[in-house]
Structure 1
Amino acid sequence: MGSIFNDFLAQRDNNSKGEIIYTNDSPKDTATQKIRAEISGRVQGVGFRFSTKQAADELGVKGIVRNEADGTVYVEATSDKKHLDQFIELLRKGPSPAAVVEKVVVTYDEKIEEKSNFSQVN
């Protein structure tokens, strides 16, 4: 992933990284993995959805990102394990410079509908 995101993430303060909480184990025998994630912290009104979409497009991750009424951001994502792991790490660090991620709660969910691209949902 050679992009402005690499430069930005390399400069992030380690204290601004949120924790990742996995609610279940990743499936072992599937080429495509599917997750839903709830990101909390200062993640609304800071370009989080926009930068999440850019990162997903760059990694080839498909899915959606949307703001929730409780101040969190919700993500559904599908990809191979390598790219999905990179995407989750990006969510943890906060793809937007103004974001401060406290935690990312990740659930593997094979029932998530596969999308043809990654989009922001209002």
Structure 2
Amino acid sequence: MARDTAILRVTGFVQGVGFRYTTKHVAYKYDVSGTVKNLDDGSVEIHAIAEEENLNKFIDAIKKGPSPGCRIEHVYIYKGAPVEDRKTFDIVY
């Protein structure tokens, strides 16, 4: 089955609260590969690749805030965006 891609940019209180770490665990739960990294402007960027149903479940979980300490203001979603094909989901430092 074909895998879909998405780039998510998450704004709010999302750095220094375990957001990337918990995002990685959510990615494993839904069999999503890709990356998550902090951006200089205080937001977080996620590159995700998965089968459509799993990708949608992953995005829904991110919108709810995977980390108990985070506060999501907005999730910008760019579906179909070019994303490097990966086998794992990694935190980029």
Q: TM-score, normalised by structure 2?
A: 0.95
Question: Residues of 2 paired with 1:50 and 1:110: CA distance?
Answer: 23
| Secondary structure in structure 2 of the residue aligned to 1:86 | helix
The one-letter code sitting in structure 2 at the alignment partner of 1:74 is E
| Cα shift at 1:78 | 0.3
Following TM superposition, the consecutive aligned residue runs of length 4 or more in structure 1 with deviations greater than 4 angstroms are none
Does structure 1 residue 77 correspond to structure 2 residue 77? Answer: no
The aligned residue for residue 51 of structure 1 is 22
* Distance of 2:82 and 2:70 partners within structure 1: 29
Q: CA deviation at 1:46?
A: 0.3
Match of 1:44, SS state, is coil
Matched with 1:3 is none
**Larger Cα-atom Rg:** 1
Could you list the runs of 5+ residues in structure 2 that have no partner in the other structure?
Answer: none
Counterpart AA for 1:80 = E
Gaps of 5+ in 1: 1-29
CA RMSD of aligned residues (A): 1.1
Deviation of the 1:96 alpha carbon: 0.2
Deviation, structure 1 residue 110:
4.7
Point out which structure has higher relative CO (alpha carbons under 8 A, 6+ apart). Answer: 2
- How far has the Cα of 1:59 moved from its partner? 1.1
Question: What is the aligned-residue identity percentage?
Answer: 35
Aligned counterparts, 1:15-30, within 5 A: none
- How many residue pairs get aligned? The number is 93
Q: TM-score, length-normalised on structure 1?
A: 0.73
